Amino acid sequence: MKLENIRIVMIGTSHPGNVGAAARAMHNMGISRLSLVDPQCPIGDVAYARASGANVILDNRETHADLGAAIADCSRIIATTARRRSLPWPELDPREMAESVFALDDKRQVALVFGREHSGLSNDELQMCHQMVCIPTNPGFSSLNVASAIQVICYEIFRYQAEPYQLPEPEGPDLPASSAEVEGYIEHLRETLDGCGFLNPQQPEMIMQRLRRIYMRNELTRSEIHILRGILSSVGKQLG
Ligand code: SAH
């Protein structure tokens, strides 16, 4: 895994100082790709002042309307959160996160996703992630400033890269599916289940979220997505 394949995604950030401080933290740790999703503040003097010279990170930032667009080419998406959720999620500490990232080969694109200052990540955003990383903190006061959280996560990545061992991932023609491919499949599944009357029209999301967890737990490959979509297409034909 190369540092340039790792991007930091900040969703709905409302304070420009946090974007600047995040840029500084990233640059200190050799991570250069910053994606802003639906930023709620202008990136101007305040952000640049807090970046303290890490201007290149801000100059080269990307901006996207939603998380899907920011991670479309990524095949490992890691959410960061201080909160534990009711649905079971594979949860890593920062050290384990760095280890799992560096076990991937350098054809992979990895996104580390950070939430809004006041409300963190929405459940829909979390649903798009494979893993969750939680920085251990005082249980009575667990939420870090978003730029501080980015600092800790980037530090663990930087530190791990100096370590000797790397597990090469077997890579054949069967590459891991990208987020856009998985989302395409899940949409196809939703349409099919809707078409055959399986989904409760009042609460389609309940079952869709559970199904989604099965797929996100397994890191599907492209050919598996191909098979799964083939099944749905056959069902679709039968249904007319
Ligand atoms: N009240 C919000 C706090 C958001 S803090 C909530 O409960 O979700 C802003 C962002 O910083 C979070 O979305 C997360 O990306 C990151 N963050 C804060 N504390 C963290 C922690 N202990 N571990 C991992 N990420 C954390």
pTM of the model: 0.78
Check pocket membership of 142 for ligand 1, CB cut-off 6 A. yes
**What digits encode the pLDDT tens for the residues 18-63?**
999 999 999 999 999 999 999 999 999 999 999 999 999 999 999 9
The answer to whether the CB of 228 is under 6 A from ligand 1 is: no
120 lines ligand 1 (CB under 6 A): yes
Looking up tokens 């009357």 gives: 197
Q: What CATH superfamily classification does 3-165 receive? A: SPOUT methyltransferase, trefoil knot domain (3.40.1280.10)
Residue 161: predicted pLDDT: 84
Nearest Cα to Cα of residue 209 among 221, 193, 227, 225: 193
- Check if 152 has its Cβ closer than 6 Å to any atom of ligand 1: no
Probe target for ligand 1 pocket from 132, 144, 156, 157, with the most ligand atoms within 8 Å of CB: 144
- The single residue listed with the structure tokens 């737990």 is 217
pLDDT band at 165; cut points 50, 70, 90:
very low
Residue 188 reports pLDDT greater than 60: yes
Q: How many CB atoms lie within 10 A of CB 221?
A: 17
Of residues 108 and 174, the one with the higher pLDDT is 108
Q: Which of these CATH numbers, 3.10.290.10, 1.20.120.420, 1.20.970.10, 1.10.8.590, describes 179-239?
A: 1.10.8.590
Q: Whose CA is nearest to atom 8 of ligand 1?
A: 120
Rounded mean pLDDT of 13-18? 98
- H helices of the chain, in order, are 16-28, 45-51, 55-59, 67-71, 94-102, 123-127, 146-161, 179-195, 204-218, 222-239
Positive or negative torsion for Cα 147, 61, 106, 75: positive
Q: What is the pLDDT of residue 164?
A: 44
- Fold equal for 3-165 and 179-239: no
- Shortest CA distance to 36 belongs to which of 25, 50, 23? 23
Reported confidence tier of residue 169, pLDDT bands at 50, 70, 90? low
Give me ligand 1 centre to Cα 177, in Å: 28
Any atom of ligand 1 within 6 Å of the Cβ of 144: yes
Distance 137 CA to ligand 1 centre (A): 11
Comparison of pLDDT for 212 and 16, the residue scoring more = 16
Across the chain, mean pLDDT equals: 91
Asked which of 56-60, 83-87, 111-115, 140-144 is least confident by mean pLDDT, the reply is 83-87
With a 6 A CB cut-off, is 14 part of the ligand 1 pocket?
no
From the list 143, 97, 127, the residue with the least C-alpha distance to 187 is 127
Share of the chain above pLDDT 70, in %: 93
Q: Sign of the C-alpha dihedral, residues 38, 41, 44, 48?
A: negative
> Ligand 1 centre from 144 Cα, in Å?
6
CA distance 112 to 145: 16
Q: Tokens for 134?
A: 């939680």
Residue ranges of the domains in the chain? 3-165, 179-239
- pLDDT of 138 > 60? The answer is yes
pLDDT of residue 170: 57
Q: What is the pLDDT of residues 64-91, one digit of tens each?
A: 999 999 999 999 999 999 866 565 677 8
Taking every pair of Cα atoms in the chain, the longest distance, rounded to a whole number of angstroms, is: 61
